[in-house]
A and B are shown apart, each in its own frame.
Chain A
Amino acid sequence: MATVELRNLRKTYLHEEIIKGVSLAIAEREFVVFVGPSGCGKSTLLRMIAGLEDISAGDLLIDGQRVNDTEPARRGLAMVFQSYALYPHMNVYRNMEFSLRLAGMPEAERRQRIGDVARILQLEPYLDHRPGQLSGGQRQRVAIGRAIVRNPRVFLFDEPLSNLDAALRGQMRVELASLHRRLGATTIYVTHDQVEAMTMADRIVVLNKGVVEQIGTPLELYHRPGNLFVARFMGSPPMNLLPATISAPAPEGSVQVRTGTFSVSIPTQQAGLEAGAPATLGVRPEHIRIDPQGAVHGMVEVSERLGAITLLHVRLPDGQMIVVQTGGDNIDCADTPISMTFEEEHCHLFDAGGMALARSTEHPLLAGA
């Protein structure tokens, strides 16, 4: 198992910088997920680590050794491609055998190793099938098997689940997580799906336009987004964001914030807040309570009943839409007026530049982090 270190990695393509200096240290056995919208550079970054793209500037270290100019195959990595990239003219066995054969491994050892991997991935019945004869999920397993069989120092995954349907994706997510636990390999995983990122990662790297927006554990990113971009990106349904004005810094580490139709008081330790400064108020749907005595009023426009929970899309008097998460037994329907309370200790406040303001309270799950 190995460590991977990125030191100010940059990639310039046709005079345009698409990776603008990324630094990151990945520990042994860590599962790191690169996440971001399409075009953020996450796949390019992964391909630079793999050796499929040249590194324009900066250093890439694997186990402390600089590998910028090392051939992909000699970096000791294995990669699972988005399209699986199985060799269509070889059967499953040959697909997994290819790298071992190129490395000159003796036949008996190859056979044994592929047998072991096929058993783990339940691929034994399919060893003589061509990729074209397999289902999407089976192809996915072969792609993973082809990576595992080499026993690489680092696994790279490039959006491996994006071609599967929702049910299979959920199942493979669990399988990959448990596989990672069994093999204990350092893993770098690229996805645009924040659910995959949240559920699988030890640490998440949020990328945007070639820049790291934030690095942290899933819950850190969820409960303590460092800026508006991360706040918008992590969480589904996304955080409600309302334009607001700071009305008055209140005493005892809190600040009074006014939006169109109501005010809330948010605990913060940020110094130097000025009255009248523009800001953005953020609150997640599950942190809005329906409360007949609440100070926030609105009209339900749509009620999405998901069974376990119900999502109310509520229009505020000034026209803004917010989403409120309630229990599955909620019976409010369209055109019902409701009143709500924002749980102030869970509200987020971002300044005019989109940066989160320092908090004075900590989420219980993150306490001591």
Chain B
Amino acid sequence: MARTSTRLRHATITLLAWSIALWMFFPILWMFLTGFKSEPDAISTPPHFFFNPTLSSYQDVFARENYWHFAANSVVISLMATVVALLVSIPAAYAMAFLPGPRTRMTLLWMLSTRMLPSVGVLVPIYLLARATGLLDSRTGLVVIYMLTNLPITVWMLYTFFREVPVPILEAGRMDGATRWQEVTQVLLPLALPGIASTGLLSLILCWNETFWSLNLTSSVAAPLTTFIASFSSPEGLFFAKLSAASTLAVAPIMVFGWASQKQLVRGLTFGAVK
């Protein structure tokens, strides 16, 4: 009796969990499949699950836009912004975690509050500033802005990771004669490496997918994949296969990367909420 009910419960859970998982993933799967369809196949009703796969949409996409140019921009901008953000936030997070002053908490909260400023509220001045400094449609401009928008989050995450490092280990380092620099580079950073990695991962994903600034501040030279995909939204939105191929190309790198680093990423995303 009890055996059957546990088995029933188990079957229900399996069924439910897999149904939801497939439903959540279905749009992505469908996008991936549609990219390999011919245009007529892509808009056939009812939709086809089985079809003759073709690479023609991908060929069209590559013929129309220089995908590698956009992809390279995405990679370079995301990486640079992440590296700079880490370089600026590591010392700040270290000071907040290990040399806290009476105002440290306020500083942290204030930093977070700057992340809540709606970008659109300052779009005009940033646009004008970028134009005045020649940073419009430049990689540097986006790197600076992405770094700044991510800074509160990277400082916050690193702070929570650093606080998990047992203080006695750093004190042992000091007793062993480490200078502040040696304490950080030889004791703290190796210990907090997983945390730093997941902070960097999140920053990379956020930069890769950032749409507002990239659409408004770049046009061609520095345009990343978010701009690339926007150019397929209209008026050719109805070319489903081409749109799907382009979308797949835009999200594939970061998604594969995200899958691979999922475990690492999860640790960092909790922002210290999970003990």
Residues of B near A102 (CB, < 8 A) are 176-178, 182
Nearest-CB residue, chain B, relative to A14: B102
Residues of B near A337 (CB, < 8 A) are none
Q: Mark B159-193, 1 if CB is under 8 A from A, else 0.
A: 00000001011011111111000100011001100
Nearest-CB residue, chain A, relative to B165: A88
Given contacts A79-B175, A98-B173, A102-B178, contact A85 B187 (CB under 8 A): no
B177 touches A79 (CB 8 A): no
Q: Tell me which residues from 20 to 50 in chain A have a Cβ below 8 Å from any Cβ of chain B.
A: 50
B191 touches A88 (CB 8 A): yes
* A-B pair number, CB within 8 angstroms: 58
Residues of B near A73 (CB, < 8 A) are 174-178
Q: Most A CB atoms within 10 A — which of B168, B177, B182, B187?
A: B177
Does A81 lie at the interface of the complex (its beta carbon under 8 Å from any beta carbon of B)? yes
- Shortest CB-to-CB span from A207 to chain B, Å, is 21
Residues of A near B186 (CB, < 8 A) are 98
A98 to B172, CA, bound (A): 10
- Shortest CB-to-CB span from B99 to chain A, Å, is 13
- Shortest CB-to-CB span from B160 to chain A, Å, is 19
Q: Mark A100-140, 1 if CB is under 8 A from B, else 0.
A: 00110000000000000000000000000000000000000
Q: Most A CB atoms within 10 A — which of B168, B182, B187, B191?
A: B168
B168 touches A83 (CB 8 A): yes
B interface residues, tally (CB under 8 Å): 16
Does A77 lie at the interface of the complex (its beta carbon under 8 Å from any beta carbon of B)? yes
B175 touches A50 (CB 8 A): yes
A150 to B178, CA, bound (A): 14
Nearest-CB residue, chain B, relative to A47: B171
Does A52 lie at the interface of the complex (its beta carbon under 8 Å from any beta carbon of B)? yes
A78 touches B175 (CB 8 A): yes
A103 to B176, CA, bound (A): 9
Residues of A near B166 (CB, < 8 A) are 83, 85
B175 touches A86 (CB 8 A): no
Q: Most A CB atoms within 10 A — which of B166, B168, B176?
A: B176
A99 touches B174 (CB 8 A): no
Residues of A near B177 (CB, < 8 A) are 73-74, 99, 102-103
Interface of A is mostly: loop
Residues of A near B191 (CB, < 8 A) are 87-89
Q: Tell me which residues from 40 to 78 in chain A have a Cβ below 8 Å from any Cβ of chain B.
A: 50-52, 71-74, 77-78
B171 touches A86 (CB 8 A): no
A72 to B186, CA, bound (A): 18
Given contacts A87-B187, A88-B191, A89-B190, contact A99 B168 (CB under 8 A): no
A86 to B168, CA, bound (A): 9
Given contacts A85-B166, A99-B177, contact A79 B182 (CB under 8 A): no
A52 touches B171 (CB 8 A): yes
A51 to B176, CA, bound (A): 12
State which of B169, B172, B178, B190 has its C-beta within 8 Å of the C-beta of A79.
Answer: B172
A85 to B169, CA, bound (A): 4
Residues of B near A86 (CB, < 8 A) are 169, 172
Q: Most B CB atoms within 10 A — which of A73, A86, A103, A146?
A: A73
A72 to B169, CA, bound (A): 14
Given contacts A87-B169, A102-B182, contact A52 B190 (CB under 8 A): no
State which of B171, B178, B182, B190 has its C-beta within 8 Å of the C-beta of A81.
Answer: B171
B175 touches A98 (CB 8 A): no
- Shortest CB-to-CB span from A145 to chain B, Å, is 13
Q: Mark A257-270, 1 if CB is under 8 A from B, else 0.
A: 00000000000000
Spell out B's residues near A (CB within 8 Å).
Answer: 166, 168-169, 171-178, 182, 186-187, 190-191
Known: A85-B171, A86-B169, A150-B176. 13 other contacts (CB 8 A): A52-B175, A72-B171, A73-B175, A73-B177, A77-B175, A79-B171, A79-B172, A85-B169, A98-B186, A99-B175, A99-B177, A102-B182, A146-B176
